[in-house]
Chain A
Amino acid sequence: MRRPTGWAAPLAALAAVIALAAPAAAQDSVFGIRGLGYWDRSGSARTAGMGGALAALDAESPVNPAAIGSWDATAGWAVGMASDRTFNPGTGSASLSSTRFPLLGVAGTVSRQLRVALTVSDYLDRNWSVSQPGVDTIAPGDTVVTSDQTESLGGVSDLGLAFAYRLTGVTVGLGLHALTGATRLSVTRQFPNDSSYHTFNQQGTTDFSGVGLSLGAIAGPLPNLLVGASLRVNGALKATTVDTVAHVRMPVELNFGAEYGLVPGVVVAASLGYATWSRASADLVAAGQQGARNVWSLGVGAEVAALHMGGQPLPLRLGYEWRQLPFPIGGGTLTESAFTGGLGLTGAGGRATVDAAVQVGRRGVSGLTEHYRALLLGVTIRP
């Protein structure tokens, strides 16, 4: 049996992990119940540790296809995330938790100038479950205590195929995106106080499909300065539930980022993003939901490589991120913010890197707040 070489090993690992982890999803949120779900921008654990400040420059992220131009050899990466959330709707709190794989990818060199990468990342997370106690009146004088649980599992993943071409002083990129996934929905009604009633359960599946195209560039106009920008245009997302089909126009996404080396071993970075989610508004309203709005996102962070372990640098990262979420709750403006931190370990003679990041943040709207803590673990292998 021949040993796999080059692309074979990372591709095999990617295929196995996709099979085990599908559908890939990022952090869940109780607010994913609204609109198309919880919109996330999956990136590497390094980027997460810096508050998302490297989003437009992240070689492992599908945001800017030009970023993969920084790979000089074949590489594979995966990010795992365990999150713990506390939701307080004002009538008591609930502790929630989940484990996800928001990002997987492989990249390789085609020629001195051309790079190619394949990524699987979360785009819309639709994992949520709510329980509602109640009393239903069947007829005058005939009431029954009920307990409903509605659940959604799954989401929309982004399969990205990116190409980057190195020119003198600038790298340009092209990304092709396929939005795909499914949501398994179920509703269960139980009657806890009346055994004459039997449990009601109904299930359904919604399949999603769509395409997108991204363009990006990264340049170094000044010493120690790297800037990047990307534009992503998405087609309509097609949602199919049995014989009902809906098309929802998806946003145009703009992302900008810069990274500057202040002194040797110290890097600061910032990113700014904008997405025109209001394009989806009319389609959502037509489907009986609330509309959507255009959203901004902002991230700032720093990385300090003052420490070493085993002869390798041990970078420490800090960051802050703030962003708006596109689907309103009761007409209120939903925002999310978090403080982040992380570190990176490089081993195996520079062939393997493990990045860890933590996020402590909150998201919500007046009266409804979800606090979350997330631990991300990213592994990058350059065989």
Chain B
Amino acid sequence: MSAWRKAVLAALAAGAVAGCTEKLTAPGQCPALCPTSNVQLADTLLTLADTADTSVRGFVLVREASYLLAANEDTLKALTLIRFSALDTVWYSTTKPVDTFYVGRMDSVKLSLHIGQRDTSVKNLKLLVYRLPARFDTAATYASILPYFADSTLVDTVPIADTASNGGDLELKIADSLLIPPGDSGVVSLGLALASDSGTMLTLESGNLNTFTSAPTLQYYVHAKAPFDTLANEFSYQPFVATFVTNPPPAQPAPGVLAVGGLPTARSTIYLSLPKIVTDSTSVVRASLILNTVGAVGGFARDSFYVIAQPVVRDYGVKSILYPDSTVSGSVRLHQGQTGAVSIDVEPILRFWGTTVGDSTPRLIVLRVYPEGSILGSAAFAGRAAGALAPQLKVTYVKPYAFGVP
């Protein structure tokens, strides 16, 4: 065996042995066998009254939301407005003697809906289906659209079974035929109103925000025109516009209030001025953003949702770019009707600000609901001018640890 081979074998043997598992950890026996330094915790409460905050509504618009709302409560009324894509005038077949068939008479019209949420304690729900002007104003308000929800435009009243559950499907035959004036070019718009024994609300999937598989669907069962009127066909259309209007209408958050959620969706931002010990990425072990609610948390009865806090990459005011890493965020779960103080863990954000990447980003936290545009929940928190109720940051950190030399 050559000297080189011996050398290599020796090195490999050394490496193999060096890779052996080690077990070094012993129970500390203080003070005799403990490090000379101790990890010491301290905490501080930072009142954010001297910082800046703002709140803006409109990040997800009503017509962009993944749900449609129908409500008949005393404090909130809502009407759903849907414009379906135009009914075709012809269909084609490759299996018939001729391949072009023109749409003639209708057999029936079916409306399919997917229930998002309903209050199952409220009985005898009915959906009132109205025929709206084909090209209703998409910027319509509750007041401007209400006249079209009249007896003269009522297409059908469809009961919703008391056993219908959240997430269930509704298939409603709403008419034998819908007369579509030539000027509407095949477009049909429908309005949905809710009736029930007592005030309640109902959400339906809208088809927006990538929920098209559960979008409202309008199906026409039709015959061809003569001489092929014995041939039947089915057309299925999803909404071109799906939105709703409410009374009272949504408004910008009141001054001094940090609003999140609702529709159009609101976000709030809080600018922080932090001492160095707080932004030291290695020392903070707990950081809680404490917010006090203004009024009760809104939303579907007995429902809950998340409010999350995220840092931003660039501060462009209400259009600030959020830092996309979901691990650098904090969240809290709120439930409808909740009041009082809520606490959001923002330690990952402070830790992020202590990193090389996060060091240059603004000390700005954005509050929003998750997922935006898909939940009814909303909350409002006291802003910096609210005195004792202003946001606070409670930080627990480790005092500088000295390893000792030598």
Name A's B-contacting residues (CB within 8 A). Answer: 3-5, 8-10, 12-13, 16-17, 20-21, 28, 30-31, 33-34, 36, 78, 80, 82, 87, 89-92, 94-99, 101, 127-132, 136, 138-139, 142, 144, 146, 148-151, 185, 187, 189, 191, 196-202, 204, 206, 208, 237, 239-241, 244-246, 248, 284, 287-289, 329-330, 365, 368, 379, 381, 383
Contacts and interface: CB of A to CB of B under 8 A. Distances in A.
B268 to A, nearest CB: 23
20 contacts: A4-B7, A10-B7, A17-B11, A20-B11, A30-B33, A82-B17, A89-B26, A94-B27, A97-B22, A98-B24, A128-B26, A129-B26, A130-B25, A132-B28, A138-B396, A189-B39, A198-B284, A202-B282, A246-B406, A287-B405
User: Which 4 residue pairs are nearest across A and B when measured between Cβ atoms?
Assistant: A9-B3, A16-B11, A239-B406, A89-B29
A131 B27 contact: yes
B41 A144 contact: yes
Interface centre among A138, A208, A246 (most CB of B within 10 A): A138
Interface of B: 2-4, 6-8, 10-11, 14-15, 17-18, 20-37, 39-43, 282-286, 288, 345, 347-348, 351, 396, 398, 401, 403-406
B3 A289 contact: no
Contact of B285 (A9, A31, A187, A199): A199
Given A28-B24, A241-B403, A148 B14 contact: no
Contacts of A208: 406
A12 B6 CA distance: 10
A232 to B, nearest CB: 20
A13 B35 contact: no
B33 A89 contact: yes
Contacts of B347: 198
B43 A92 contact: no
B406 A131 contact: no
Contacts of B18: 20-21, 99, 101
Contacts of A82: 17, 20
A138 B43 contact: yes
Given A199-B285, A248-B406, A329-B32, A13 B25 contact: no
B43 A139 contact: yes
Given A89-B27, A368-B33, A381-B6, A200 B283 contact: yes
Contact of A189 (B6, B285, B406): B285
B192 to A, nearest CB: 44
Contacts of B3: 3-5, 8-9, 383
Given A4-B4, A131-B28, 20 more contacts: A5-B3, A16-B10, A16-B11, A16-B14, A17-B14, A87-B27, A89-B29, A94-B25, A96-B23, A98-B23, A99-B22, A101-B14, A101-B18, A138-B396, A189-B285, A197-B286, A199-B285, A202-B282, A288-B404, A379-B10
Contact of B7 (A9, A28, A101, A197): A9
A94 B25 CA distance: 8
B7 A16 contact: yes
A21 B403 contact: no
Contacts of B28: 130-132, 148, 150
A200 B39 contact: yes
B7 A200 contact: no
B26 A132 contact: no
Contact of B17 (A90, A99, A128): A99
Given A17-B10, A20-B18, A82-B20, A196 B29 contact: no
Contacts of B406: 36, 206, 208, 237, 239, 246, 248, 284, 287
A99 B14 CA distance: 11
Given A21-B18, A189-B39, A31 B33 contact: yes
B285 A200 contact: yes
A79 B263 CA distance: 74
Contacts of A30: 26, 33
A82 to B, nearest CB: 7
A187 B35 contact: yes
Nearest to B11: A16
A13 B29 contact: no
Contacts of A131: 25-28
A21 B4 contact: no
A118 to B, nearest CB: 16
Contacts of B4: 3-4, 9, 12
A288 B402 CA distance: 11
Nearest to A31: B33
Given A9-B7, A17-B10, A95 B39 contact: no
B401 A202 contact: yes
Contact of A187 (B23, B30, B43, B401): B401
